[in-house]
Structure 1
């Protein structure tokens, strides 16, 4: 066999052996990376605590990238506040005298502020201007490369993992990418689970068509208001708001009305959707006039241009008002407020129940 052909054959065999060796390494890497995925997925599906899951991911990734040093960080969405998730004998050099993360490299800030590029690899970082703030840390440990991944939790925080490597132990880029993608997928799954838990909790407490509390959630929450009122000798009021329209209720019209109701009261006041044609408010008040001010404001808002084509607003509302401590429980408050609303005989306006009688205004309570 000619020498050239023999050399070519040897080169092909060498290339094949190298390729086989790499594929075997890649196989072992992937096998190790995903070896405990059933357990991880089960933990996520069961809603394990975020801290517990993050600790597990850290241990897993550090074991997977044994030749690299992994640094775990969290920052806010504006990339202004930074902290180390875990401290050790290596990264404590990055902390200031107050045990807080000091200056952050420009390259890291730029990366965190670019969610459209969730992975990045920087080489020759010992001499890179973007990493000069950590130059002493990088040179001390002879780091030459860093691979980064970022994941947003959807709540205003960004979780980052940095894998610092040395030239002589640098992992193939394809394998590092696999590890970064796995970490990103794990965290994303956890954050999606937390988001789902939150939405399920919200859906169980609020009516999706109005965004208002469901009846049982209103009852539980207003029960707390009454306990506070008894403890601190405060006043409260319940408003029964009945829709006078007999037409089929359109969801968008009801939502518009619910939005105005929420704008009318304070954030810590309660509004619920009790039934097809009734909504209920529970508000904290200082004076008896406070509740009728809210009712009058709500009725006035129905005449705004925003409700020009809203049938519910056009047909009006009957609002009944009852007070605590004149009534000692939510049941009696609601019954009194509902009867006050009914006393209007399907006429738009408000009436106040006070010691068994109905009044147009609290100013009439003590008139002779």
Structure 2
């Protein structure tokens, strides 16, 4: 276990760890044959992690298991019983789908352990033994427990890596991007816009409420903003009282549409009890390529929002002036 934990602590990929566990178990159980099987959480789809000359007879033309014995399915579907040992498997009706496989290799006993990865998959190790080399129950239980412990530790490491990555990129309160992640991502949008001669808009959404920000209410607001735009648009939690949004647009009036849709949604009765939303937003909008850098876009959007003087609504910055809508940009 110490050597396994050391490998995990160094950040070895999950595939590397699983392969290492497989080799370790086969070394510890030299007179047994181990099958490593992965099933989905609904126990409908099954595959072998590793194939060889022995188990290939269990596979179909597509490389998937042709059939899965009922004993395996019921075991995988019972997380409260992570270990199981069956004898006389070559004659058991619950294993009948693999009876010819057992007869061919003279397997008589099956020991199993299962571990869920906490997401969508169940990992099973099936240890098949022959009658004359069957291990004592306590020794097999020790081997199964070791394998389960290694798998659980590996999955915890994967989960920790994911959470650390998410936490470094997203604000845990709102689920929106942190400022530096937004800046990096929107920088890519600007590069693409230059390359393909496209437009982009930056929104500064300033909270007008002067009360202490309630995290629950802020999360509701963040969800509303996220629902207003497309899935590939970018939204960040810049600071306590400001959200920033970057979107690709085809026409200047697209920005008006987004701002008006957002303000209309926030005026809905369903948010009447949310004091943060009820206080409203001052929205400032700026455009690329009128401003070629993120910093100049942000300063322009901030300037536009400030011209509202803490009143709800939106203003558009365009060539140094602020307008109520894009329809006014070229009016004389």
Under a length normalisation based on structure 1, what TM-score does the superposition of the two structures give? 0.87
1:174 match: 138
Q: Does 1:362 align with 2:326?
A: yes
Q: Does 1:351 align with 2:315?
A: yes
Using the TM superposition, give the Cα deviation of residue 287 of structure 1 relative to its aligned residue in structure 2, in angstroms.
2.1
Using the TM superposition, give the Cα deviation of residue 305 of structure 1 relative to its aligned residue in structure 2, in angstroms.
3.2
1:333 match: 297
Structure 1 range deviating more: 327-336 or 119-128: 119-128
Using the TM superposition, give the Cα deviation of residue 126 of structure 1 relative to its aligned residue in structure 2, in angstroms.
0.9
- The aligned runs of 1:297-308 (5 Å cut-off) are 297-308=261-272
Using the TM superposition, give the Cα deviation of residue 359 of structure 1 relative to its aligned residue in structure 2, in angstroms.
1.4
- Give the Cα–Cα distance (whole angstroms) in 2 for the partners of residues 225 and 92 of structure 1: 48
2:153 match: 189
1:102 match: 66
- Give the Cα–Cα distance (whole angstroms) in 2 for the partners of residues 97 and 261 of structure 1: 48
Using the TM superposition, give the Cα deviation of residue 80 of structure 1 relative to its aligned residue in structure 2, in angstroms.
2.3
Using the TM superposition, give the Cα deviation of residue 338 of structure 1 relative to its aligned residue in structure 2, in angstroms.
0.7
Q: Does 1:131 align with 2:95?
A: yes
Using the TM superposition, give the Cα deviation of residue 166 of structure 1 relative to its aligned residue in structure 2, in angstroms.
1.5
- Give the Cα–Cα distance (whole angstroms) in 2 for the partners of residues 235 and 116 of structure 1: 56
Q: How many residue pairs were aligned? A: 332
Which of the numbers 95, 99, 110 marks the counterpart of 1:146?
Answer: 110
Structure 1 range deviating more: 342-351 or 95-104: 95-104
Q: Does 1:49 align with 2:13?
A: yes
- Give the Cα–Cα distance (whole angstroms) in 1 for the partners of residues 86 and 195 of structure 2: 61
Deviations along 1:150-175, one digit per CA (max 9) or x if unpaired, are: 11112312111000112221111121
Deviations along 1:73-126, one digit per CA (max 9) or x if unpaired, are: 112222222221111111111112333322221221222222222212222211
Q: Which has the larger radius of gyration?
A: 1
Using the TM superposition, give the Cα deviation of residue 247 of structure 1 relative to its aligned residue in structure 2, in angstroms.
1.2
1:13 match: none
1:263 match: 227
Structure 2 unaligned segments of length 5 or more: list them.
Answer: none
- Give the Cα–Cα distance (whole angstroms) in 2 for the partners of residues 297 and 118 of structure 1: 52
- Give the Cα–Cα distance (whole angstroms) in 1 for the partners of residues 199 and 43 of structure 2: 45
Q: Does 1:205 align with 2:150?
A: no
Q: Does 1:222 align with 2:166?
A: no
Under a length normalisation based on structure 2, what TM-score does the superposition of the two structures give? 0.96
1:293 match: 257
- Give the Cα–Cα distance (whole angstroms) in 2 for the partners of residues 42 and 125 of structure 1: 38
Structure 1 range deviating more: 228-237 or 138-147: 228-237
- Give the Cα–Cα distance (whole angstroms) in 2 for the partners of residues 222 and 38 of structure 1: 44
Structure 1 range deviating more: 104-113 or 186-195: 104-113
Secondary structure of the corresponding residue to residue 144 of structure 1: strand
- Give the Cα–Cα distance (whole angstroms) in 2 for the partners of residues 95 and 250 of structure 1: 56
Secondary structure of the corresponding residue to residue 238 of structure 2: strand
Secondary structure of the corresponding residue to residue 107 of structure 2: coil
Structure 1 unaligned segments of length 5 or more: list them.
Answer: 1-36
Secondary structure of the corresponding residue to residue 285 of structure 2: strand
1:82 match: 46
- Give the Cα–Cα distance (whole angstroms) in 2 for the partners of residues 357 and 321 of structure 1: 12
| Cα RMSD, aligned residues only | 1.4
1:60 match: 24
- CA pair 39-232 structure 1, distance change in 2 beyond 3 A: same
- Give the Cα–Cα distance (whole angstroms) in 2 for the partners of residues 266 and 226 of structure 1: 17
Deviations along 1:19-38, one digit per CA (max 9) or x if unpaired, are: xxxxxxxxxxxxxxxxxx22
Deviations along 1:170-210, one digit per CA (max 9) or x if unpaired, are: 11112111111110110000110110111111111111222
Using the TM superposition, give the Cα deviation of residue 286 of structure 1 relative to its aligned residue in structure 2, in angstroms.
2.1
Using the TM superposition, give the Cα deviation of residue 349 of structure 1 relative to its aligned residue in structure 2, in angstroms.
0.2
